[in-house]
Amino acid sequence: MIFIEDKHELKEELAEWRHARDHVAIVPTMGNLHPGHVSLVDVAKEHAERVVVTVFVNPTQFGEGEDFETYPRTFDKDTRRLKTVAADVLFAPSVETVYPFGIESATAVTVPGLTENFCGSFRPGHFDGVTTVVARLFALVRPDVAVFGQKDYQQQLVIRRMVEDLNLPVTIITAATIREDDGLAMSSRNVYLSDDEREKAPALYQALADVERQLRDGVGDFDALERQASNELERAGFLPEYVAVRRAADLGPAEEACRELVVLAAANLGQARLIDNVLVKL
């Protein structure tokens, strides 16, 4: 695996791959890698001969009072982990490389509509930061394929919309959520959980799985299911932000005729903000 910080060195490496007619996949991350990230690399290797993993803690997707300064940075451990899965390049650009004219003067990419509800409501400007940095990483790497995790369900929909709207030549792959043995979705922010909170945390997935079971049993009162799940989370010690049953394709309102739904939620537990979702095909 090659470690690259400079965009010109990256360009030279990419040119050699293109000359060999290799396909290139990108796995964008903010570091603090866990087995869920490793699974994304494995999926990327199924779709391309070469894989670039980016590690960049993007300042523009953190809102005021969020954890940009304290976000766990574990670069040495990340490097060792990526070597074990045989990624081709670890690209760790500086802020100056990604935003050459500075953050305040940076050209922004905004996807309206999809970014205005759910996590977009509770983290204003977050998705603008995500689409802006992903567009920049795509421009630097010029990948054929990009792999994102299902855990960030709204995010991958937003990125798909951006790619389609801008006619970017990138195929977006969504990889399944990787979970701990007790069901908790793996996340870099799980390190914020205390031991007691970690024992409670699987209740988020359990609440969503319960909604999924009822949907499969034919329950069609979506509002009631959402309230029920939210109440379950409160009893478990969470502070829910939202629990929603929506169309999987675009997060539009669910209807009984919908055959593909997503149940998604965000909730705070101590210092950790946890998100999760389950897909339901009826």
CATH code at 208? 3.30.1300.10
Segments of the chain scoring below 50 in pLDDT: none
Domain count of the chain? 2
What's the pLDDT at 164? 98
In a domain, 108, yes or no: yes
85 & 202 share domain: no
What's the pLDDT at 51? 98
> pLDDT tens digits for 58-97?
999 999 999 999 999 999 999 999 999 999 999 999 999 9
Strands of 2-4's sheet in order across? 2-4, 89-91, 50-55, 24-29, 145-149, 171-175
138 & 81 share domain: yes
Q: Can you say whether the dihedral through the CA atoms of 277, 31, 165, 44 is positive or negative?
A: negative
In a domain, 181, yes or no: no
Q: How far from each other are the two terminal CA atoms of the chain, in whole angstroms? A: 43
Radius of gyration for the chain, computed over Cα atoms and rounded to the nearest angstrom: 19
Q: Which one-letter amino acid corresponds to residue 233? A: L
* Cβ(263)–Cβ(212) below 8 Å: yes
In a domain, 82, yes or no: yes
Domain closes at, from 175, 205, 227: 175
Q: What is the dihedral of CA 4, 6, 9, 15, to 10 degrees?
A: 90
In a domain, 6, yes or no: yes
Tell me which residue range forms the domain holding 51.
2-175
In a domain, 183, yes or no: no
What's the pLDDT at 260? 98
What's the pLDDT at 216? 96
110 & 149 share domain: yes
Q: Is the pTM of this model over 0.85?
A: yes
Query: Cβ-count burial of 259 within 10 angstroms (0-12 exposed, 13-18 middle, 19+ buried)?
Result: exposed
32 & 167 share domain: yes
What's the pLDDT at 29? 98
Catalytic site includes residue 37: yes
84 & 123 share domain: yes
In a domain, 182, yes or no: no
Q: What is the CATH classification number for the domain harbouring 62?
A: 3.40.50.620
Domain closes at, from 132, 149, 175: 175
Annotated catalytic residue within 8, 37, 47, 126: 37
